[in-house]
Amino acid sequence: MSDEKIIEIENLSKQFRDIKAVDHLNLNVYRGDVFGFLGPNGAGKSTTIRMMTSLIAPTEGAIRIFGTQLNEKRNDILKKIGAIVEKPDFYGYISAFKNLEMLGKISGGKISSKRIMEVLELVGLEKRYNSKVKTFSHGMKQRLGIAQALLHDPELIILDEPTTGLDPQGMKEIRDLIIYLSNEKNKTIFLSSHILYEVELVANRMIIINKGSAKVEGRVEDLLNSNKLKVTVEVDDSEKAKTILNNTSWIDKLESEVNGKFSFLLRQEEISGLNKYLVQNDVAVKAVIPTRSLEEYFLNITNKES
Amino acid sequence: MYNLISIELYKIFKKWRTYIGFIVIAVLIPVIQIAMLMEGQRSINFMMRNLQQSFLFVGNLLNSYFVSYLVLNSLAIHIPFLIALVAGDLLAGEATAGTYRILITRPVSRFSIATAKFTAGIIYTFLLILWLAIVSLGLGTLIFGTGELLNYSNGSIIILAKNDVLWRFMLAYLFAVLSMGVVTSLAFLFSSLVENAIGPIISTMAIIIIFMIVSAINISLFQSIKPYLFTNYMDTWRAFFDNPIDVHTILKSVLILLAHIAVFYSAALIIFKRKDILT
């Protein structure tokens, strides 16, 4: 990763009548990043991407891509961007090859038939190149969407929920493709998703947004480690455990207790201490089940707001 | 721009709805021609009933020119509908299909996209009128042969010599392209406003029908509005069959129709450039 900023978003807002879809959003994406853009449905992810691809105009704020204002040199910037925005729609009455050929003609460079077949092969559609897109399943259209985004070999690839509608195998293939594009082809990837797991697996940096504004931004690794885990502890005697815990500072960390299962919000290093304390006070610990921290973090942020 | 126009034409001619217009003309015109073959002479006799008492008419008056002239007269509503069917879909069709997203995220300005689409729409309009001319005059000549054109204008009958007609038809068809260009641009304007192609088709036809009704009703209020309705200038093609031709009337109509095209197209362009693509 480098220090060169590929995407700079400053105070970006979009208002649709009485709805503020994006609210003073700030973010930076650096060259070589696989940047996870996370948020629940309706958080403003697609609206932000639509502004980044000039489909809609911001109400306020600035978008700089490759160091240039998007509204000033739109075409120059779009030449270097490949994007899937929401669901992949194509001209259904035309073949996959012809769809890509048409898009290639207006992608800012000469796209050869060989290149079209290359990207179709990359997404596993080479055998269906001559089929009309209306005969494709949603998953196949999703792959074709990725093919059109890669067609002109862009520097920046914007993927808006690229695994939606794919089966587990298809999702894995897309993740592998993202890793390949990042590692082998040095592409910068902006990956929007509402699936945390997906982002965790491929992204090095991420932002979580909700109700149009950023909640947290940073390295995925740091966010994973810096946050508390939700730990569920199952004991043999819950009444005794409750009495013992009431006299300690552990009680401040207790989130809930249901049928002898206590849920705590703890740091990683506190887990063994709690376990030890319960055992020393003759409470048999049957299980300690940590929940992945970032997922909990994500849910905490988004649930609190909604 | 050439690339964009060729892509737009490819898309237009890959849709089956595009061929509805060509099929309708290919079916409707021969039906009219067959009907005229069977009963056309009666129409001519009716038109000439007074003159035939004093004059003797020789030659083939029921010919392809006469039939084509009648056809051109009777298609004032049908052809606009066939044009709105395609022109109304030019922008709204992309919104309905969700394909704006793959089109507008390319390094091509919205001005270029809209202009290419509009140009393709005008080319379609031209081809449809050309097809009308080919079927009407070409097939008509095979069935009826050619001859003098009997024409009724401003209360008097005009008979144009056989070798004086074809060029008038060519200019009349060109004028029809211009008239229908207004329909194309109006449907294109409506197409820029909505995200479903049905709306522009219905709106365009509604406006044409309302304007035609207002023009036809002989009430002073409506007659005062008439000069401001573009439909009032769409049938100026008839002036090419007058003798002498009223060049001033034709030029005035041409300018008014061109102005309408420019206004409708510019409005569509402004709307499209500012439009948030949410589909």
Residue B279 lies in a domain: no
Query: How many Cα atoms within 13 Å fall on the side-chain side of residue A116?
Result: 21
H or E stretch covering A48: helix A45-52
Please give the pLDDT value at position A158.
Answer: 95
Please give the pLDDT value at position B56.
Answer: 64
Q: Tell which wins on pLDDT, A287 or B84.
A: B84
For an interface test with B, which of A52, A55, A155 has the most B Cβ atoms less than 10 Å from its Cβ? A55
Sequence-separated (6 or more) residues with CB below 8 Å from residue B96: B195, B196, B197, B279
> How far is it, in rounded angstroms, from Cα B93 to Cα B195?
7
Residue B45 lies in a domain: yes
- Which homologous superfamily does the CATH classification assign to the domain defined by A5-225? P-loop containing nucleotide triphosphate hydrolases (3.40.50.300)
Residue B24 lies in a domain: yes
Per-domain residue ranges of chain A: 5-225, 227-305
Q: Tell which wins on pLDDT, B45 or B277.
A: B277
pLDDT tens string A8-47: 999 999 998 888 889 999 999 999 899 999 888 888 999 9
Please work out, in degrees rounded to the nearest 5, the angle formed at the alpha carbon of residue A303 by the alpha carbons of A59 and A207: 50
Percent of chain B with pLDDT over 70: 95
Q: Tell which wins on pLDDT, A46 or B61.
A: A46
Please give the pLDDT value at position A171.
Answer: 85
Please give the pLDDT value at position B63.
Answer: 82
Query: How many Cα atoms within 13 Å fall on the side-chain side of residue A16?
Result: 12
Mean pLDDT of A128-155: 90
**3-state helix, strand and coil shares in percent for chain B, rounded to the nearest 5:** 75, 5, 20
- Chain A, chain B: beta-carbon pairs less than 8 Å apart: 72
Mean pLDDT of B62-71: 84
Gap from B94 CA to chain A (nearest CA, Å): 9
Contacts of A86 in chain B (CB under 8 A): 101
Average pLDDT, chain B: 87
Sequence-separated (6 or more) residues with CB below 8 Å from residue B91: B114, B117, B188, B191, B192, B268, B272
Q: Which domain holds residue B194?
A: 2-274
Q: What 3-state DSSP class applies to B151?
A: strand
Q: How many structural domains compose chain B? A: 1
Residue B253 CB neighbours (<10 A): 22
Mean pLDDT of B245-274: 93
Mean pLDDT of A131-160: 91
Q: Tell which wins on pLDDT, B201 or B157.
A: B201
B interface with A, Cβ–Cβ below 8 Å? 3-4, 7, 10-11, 14-15, 97-109, 274, 276-278
> How far is it, in rounded angstroms, from Cα B134 to Cα B128?
10
Mean pLDDT of A89-93: 92
> How far is it, in rounded angstroms, from Cα B19 to Cα B15?
8
B276, A94: Cβ pair inside 8 Å? no
Beta strands in chain A, from DSSP E residues, in sequence order: 5-16, 19-30, 34-38, 60-65, 68-69, 81-84, 156-160, 188-193, 205-210, 213-219, 229-235, 254-258, 261-266, 285-291
pLDDT tens string B100-133: 999 999 999 999 999 999 999 999 999 999 999 9
Q: Tell which wins on pLDDT, B107 or A247.
A: B107
Please give the pLDDT value at position B241.
Answer: 87
Residue B13 clears pLDDT 90, i.e. is over it: yes
pLDDT tens string A279-301: 888 888 888 877 665 566 667 66
Contacts of A81 in chain B (CB under 8 A): 105
Residue B55 clears pLDDT 70, i.e. is over it: no
Gap from A144 CA to chain B (nearest CA, Å): 11
Please give the pLDDT value at position B277.
Answer: 86
Statement: A227-305 belongs to CATH 3.30.70: yes
